[in-house]
Amino acid sequence: MPVVKIHPRLASAVTLASGVALACSFTFFHSRPEADGFSVVHPGAQSGATQAETKVFDREEILSEKPDDELARGIDRALSPFFSQIDSMLAEAERETDESRRERMLVHTVAWIERQGLPAILEIAKIENPSEMMAEAKARLLENLAKRDPKTAASAALSDPGAMHTVLASWVTRNLAEAREWAGQLPEGESRHQALLFVAAEAVRTEPGAALKIACDLPASSERDALLSRAASEWTVGAPADAMAWVAQISDAPLRAQLTASIASTLAQSDSATAAQLAVTSLEPGTLRDNLVVGIVQRWTQRDAASAAAWVAKFPEGDLRAAAIDNIVKLWPSRTDAAMWLSGLSPGASRDNGLRAFAEKIAPAYPREAAIWAATITNPQMQAAQLEDIVRSWKASDPASASQWVRTASLSSAVRQRLLAKL
């Protein structure tokens, strides 16, 4: 049950209200014995306490001592037979341990509230910080109302983001334009922004282009940016050209770059070449572009390693080329093809990095071949470190072969002595 702050002078009044609510419940439950698992209460079952003479409390007198909106709501609810009836029904449902009976009781309660009419539903919608059962009843009432009168349901749910999301999800499924118009006409503020985000989030699945346009007009936030990226990706799946054209005209450079990266990442799953071209021509050099390119290379290599390698081979020397080569040789299914490609690269830091990655990859199964490739690394420190790693693991599986190779391989004297010390 929702927590209600009760003024000290309300104690007896609440007891009285409970008795009134109980009396109100007699007609309802007596007409449906054992309805959906609820207990039957008969008039004769009233306690002496509820039949006793009671004092009439003055609502305004209580509030005059401490004016407080929350206290006022608490008084009104505590003295309301309608709310007490519902609280009693939901409390009984919450105590039920059988899930199917509990569900029937909840359905029954929701149906009873709906029979009381729209004002009753709207009163339930105003409840703040509801209990678990009340929250579920509230959500179902608003979801049902949304099917008949989505504008009224959405307006009633404005103060409750969870309920508003439920209502708008139902509305967007049936009429995106109406839901968008309603949310857009709300006064500027958090409720409007939240409503438009909900509309856009639900539209992503069916109309990602519309979702992107809705969210793009909202103030920047992590939630908005995540939604924009998802919408751009979804739009790319169905209409990549449209998505790219629309994103290209965004004036906000950081946002344009973010969405371009989302499009390229999605496109890489089906058309890596186009994705790669989009990444290098539309994004400025930097972490975002480099991470995206490496991701594209990874996907491309898994499908067509030779084409990915041919593209990467054109990169200028630098960290991006080195990272891309590293990923290619690690993911290339054929070690023979990877070795041939590496041997054709011009000497440099990126090739050394590729040789290191390749030797590291094949060393567990082919230690001799790995050592031979590692010995061609031109960076002395990198070469020695990689050979040490290979010889150390090789010694554990075949010390004689490892020792023979170190003694006969074409190595500098310093590297040979360093490796022999590890044997």
8 domain residue, yes or no: yes
Amino acid present at 100 = S
Contact 75, 62 (CB under 8 A): yes
Buried-exposed string 243-277: b where 16+ CB fall within 10 A, e elsewhere: bbebbeebeeeebbbbbbbbbbbbbbeebbebbbe
Buried-exposed string 150-182: b where 16+ CB fall within 10 A, e elsewhere: bebbbebbbebeebbbbbbbbbbeeebeebbeb
Contact 77, 10 (CB under 8 A): no
Q: Give CA–CA dist 384/398, Å, rounded.
A: 20
- The model's pLDDT over 310-354, given as tens digits with 9 standing for 90+, comes to 999 999 999 999 999 999 999 999 999 999 999 999 999 999 999
Q: What pLDDT score was predicted for residue 233?
A: 94
Query: What is the residue-averaged pLDDT of the chain?
Result: 83
SS3 249: coil
Q: What pLDDT score was predicted for residue 65?
A: 55
Q: What pLDDT score was predicted for residue 87?
A: 87
Per the rule left: phi > 0, alpha: psi between -120 and 50, beta: everything else, 348 is left
How would residue 6 be classed by pLDDT, with cut points 50, 70 and 90?
very low
Structural tokens at position 218: 């909202």
Contact 38, 101 (CB under 8 A): no
How many domains is the chain partitioned into structurally?
1
Percent of the chain clearing pLDDT 70 (strictly above): 81
Amino acid present at 379 = N
* DSSP H or E stretch at residue 193: helix 190-203
Radius of gyration (C-alpha) of the chain in whole angstroms: 35
Amino acid present at 375 = A
How would residue 192 be classed by pLDDT, with cut points 50, 70 and 90?
very high
3-state secondary structure 21-57: HHHHHHHHHHCCCCHHHCCCCCHHHCCHHHHCCCCCC
274 domain residue, yes or no: no
Which residues, 6+ apart, have CB-to-CB distance to 254 below 8 Å? none
Q: What pLDDT score was predicted for residue 78?
A: 52
SS3 314: coil
Q: Hey, how many other C-beta atoms are within 10 angstroms of the C-beta on 390?
A: 27
- The model's pLDDT over 259-288, given as tens digits with 9 standing for 90+, comes to 999 999 999 998 999 999 999 999 999 999
Q: Give CA–CA dist 171/180, Å, rounded.
A: 9
Task: Using the predicted structure, report yes or no on whether residue 22 has a pLDDT greater than 70.
Answer: no
Structural tokens at position 345: 């690269």
CA dihedral 18, 23, 29, 33 (to 10 degrees): 110
For residues 82-91, average pLDDT: 87
Contact 124, 137 (CB under 8 A): yes
- The model's pLDDT over 367-418, given as tens digits with 9 standing for 90+, comes to 999 999 999 999 999 999 999 999 999 999 999 999 999 999 999 999 999 9
Task: Using the predicted structure, report yes or no on whether residue 58 has a pLDDT greater than 80.
Answer: no
Contact 305, 333 (CB under 8 A): yes
Q: Give CA–CA dist 110/67, Å, rounded.
A: 33
Report how many helices (DSSP H) and strands (DSSP E) the chain contains, helices first.
Answer: 25, 0
Output the pTM of the full model: 0.65
How would residue 111 be classed by pLDDT, with cut points 50, 70 and 90?
very high
For residues 144-169, average pLDDT: 91
Distance between start and end Cα atoms, the chain: 74
128 domain residue, yes or no: yes
Q: Give CA–CA dist 400/398, Å, rounded.
A: 6
362 domain residue, yes or no: no
**331, exposed or middle or buried, with CB in 10 Å at 0-12, 13-18, 19+?**
middle
Structural tokens at position 18: 């409970």
- The model's pLDDT over 162-180, given as tens digits with 9 standing for 90+, comes to 889 989 999 999 999 999 9
Q: What pLDDT score was predicted for residue 66?
A: 52
Which residues, 6+ apart, have CB-to-CB distance to 91 below 8 Å? 1, 133
Q: What pLDDT score was predicted for residue 33?
A: 36
> Which residue range is the domain that position 69 belongs to?
1-146
Amino acid present at 108 = H
370 domain residue, yes or no: no
On the CB side of 367, CA atoms within 13 Å amount to 21
Structural tokens at position 365: 């199964």
Q: Give CA–CA dist 1/130, Å, rounded.
A: 7
What string of DSSP letters covers 132-167?
HHHHHHHHHHHHHHHHH-HHHHHHHTTT-HHHHHHH
- The model's pLDDT over 229-270, given as tens digits with 9 standing for 90+, comes to 999 999 999 999 999 999 999 999 999 999 999 999 999 998
SS3 299: helix
